[in-house]
Amino acid sequence: MGGTERDFVNEAFDTNWVAPLGPNVNGFEKDLEAYQGQVTHVAALSSGTAAIHLALIQAGVGPGDEVLCQSFTFCGSSNPILYLGATPILVDSEPDTWNICPDALEQAYKDRVKQGKTPKALLAVHLYGMPYKVDAVHAFAKANNLKVIEDSAEALGSTYKNRKCGTFGDYGILSFNGNKIITTSGGGAMVCHTKEAKDRTVFLATQARDAAPHYQHSQVGFNYRMSNISAGIGRGQMQVLDKHIELRRAMNTFYQNIFKNVDGVTVQVEQNDDYFSNHWLSAILVDPEKTGGLTREDLRLAFEADNIESRPLWKPMHMQPLYEKYPYYGDDRTCEDLFEKGLCLPSGSNLTDADRERIKAVVVKTFDS
Ligand SMILES: *Cc1c(COP(=O)(O)O)cnc(C)c1O
């Protein structure tokens, strides 16, 4: 927490705005719109997963439809496809950004069309804060009339060619879950490009109540709006967002330095100046063929022995029991390789110099560097 969150929450109590609407919700949305830039209309929601669910609905996805989806992601990206009875078509990543591979995407799309099942939408993810190949992915989507749901849950503050992630897709998704770069304890948002899309999102998120003095409903709605208490935390957090990004990026630089002279370990970094990652999590790849046999699991266990938490990269969806039966495209199997070799390292905005010393000591001991 930054410090001012409590002031906004106290104000909500003092004015009795304890509800899923109120001045903090409106204020947080305005803050996010200003931060994202472009012409955006933001709807604050109960979670990032809820935002993806509502985005898919607005993209016209329903039972039996197919949705192209980056396989290398967290289940919050892909589960809403299943909520709708639609079919996820899982697509491999490429090694530069670890995100959706434009070639595998094209291969997947063409094959689905050949089978008479033209996909309706594309769900692409800026994983760990690293922007995906925005130009290539969006050019393909545009040429093929695919609505893009841009999962920016981990990438608030990241940019591609100086434009904020979350503003490229037809629908941009943000998350403020407890583990994200800023948090409202739990929460999310949809970044829209028209007021109509935002209004429609809020309508669906508040039980789809028709305009009438009584409760009148002609379609299924959801209870997905953000609470005014949570939004108060969010307004306070907006004041420390850029500071958090600075600290997370400093952690990435720290890891670049300590692994600089370790053969076989590479830190995930931006490939060129088009990319700016918030480095929500810093992650490495450990190649046992170059480390003399040491694996990412050896390093994870060495950290664990010293009570330091690290975690393998996201297990691709096509390798998950829940998703095994769905089609997967990608001959290179890049994301399988990432899962096998990758480790997320301590990256929190609150790590101290003493914490960094402990982390470094484990690395030095493990790699004898
Ligand atoms: C966290 C996350 C989500 C879901 O957000 P919640 O607010 O936790 O529902 C979706 N996609 C990705 C990539 C995430 O990291």
* DSSP conformation letters of 166-202: TSSSSEEEEE--TTSSS--SS-EEEEESSHHHHHHHH
CA-175 nearest atom, ligand 1: 7
DSSP secondary structure code for residue 226 in this structure: P
Pocket of ligand 1 contains residue 154 by CB under 6 Å: yes
Pocket mutation for ligand 1, best pick of 45, 74, 99 (most atoms within 8 Å of C-beta): 74
Cβ–ligand 1 contact at 175 (below 6 Å): yes
Between the CA of 48 and the centroid of ligand 1 the distance, in Å, is 5
Distance from C-alpha of 303 to C-alpha of 366, rounded to nearest angstrom: 9
CA of 52 to the centre of ligand 1 (A): 9
Cβ atoms of residues 316 and 335 within 8 Å:
yes
Look at residue 368 in the predicted model and tell me its pLDDT. 83
- Catalytic-labelled residue, pool 147, 164, 180, 198: 180
Q: Which residue has the tokens 């690395």?
A: 363
Is 365 among the residues known to form the active site?
A: no
User: Does residue 151 line the site of ligand 1, with CB under 6 A?
Assistant: yes
pTM greater than 0.85: yes
251 CB within 6 A, ligand 1: no
Burial of 4 (0-12, 13-18, 19+ CB in 10 A): middle
For helices 48-58 and 195-205, the axis angle rounded to 10 degrees is: 120
Closest atom of ligand 1 to CA, residue 179: 1
125 lines ligand 1 (CB under 6 A): yes
Nearest alpha carbon to residue 175 among 76, 55, 47: 47
3-state DSSP helix/strand/coil % of the chain, to nearest 5: 40, 15, 45
Query: Burial of 66 by CB count in 10 Å (0-12 exposed, 13-18 middle, 19+ buried)?
Result: buried
What the chain holds in terms of domains, given with CATH numbers, is 4-240 (3.40.640.10), 241-368 (3.90.1150.10)
Residue of 81, 173, 177 to mutate, ligand 1, most atoms within 8 A of C-beta: 177
Ligand 1 within 6 A of CB of 78? no
Is residue 46 in contact with ligand 1, taking CB distance under 6 Å? no
Mean pLDDT by 10 residues, the chain (369 residues): 95 96 98 95 98 98 98 98 98 98 98 97 98 98 98 98 98 97 98 98 97 96 98 98 98 98 97 98 98 97 98 98 98 97 97 98 92
From first CA to last CA, the distance across the chain in angstroms is 36
CA of 175 to the centre of ligand 1 (A): 6
Which pLDDT score is estimated for 113? 98
How far is it, in rounded angstroms, from Cα 286 to Cα 93? 18
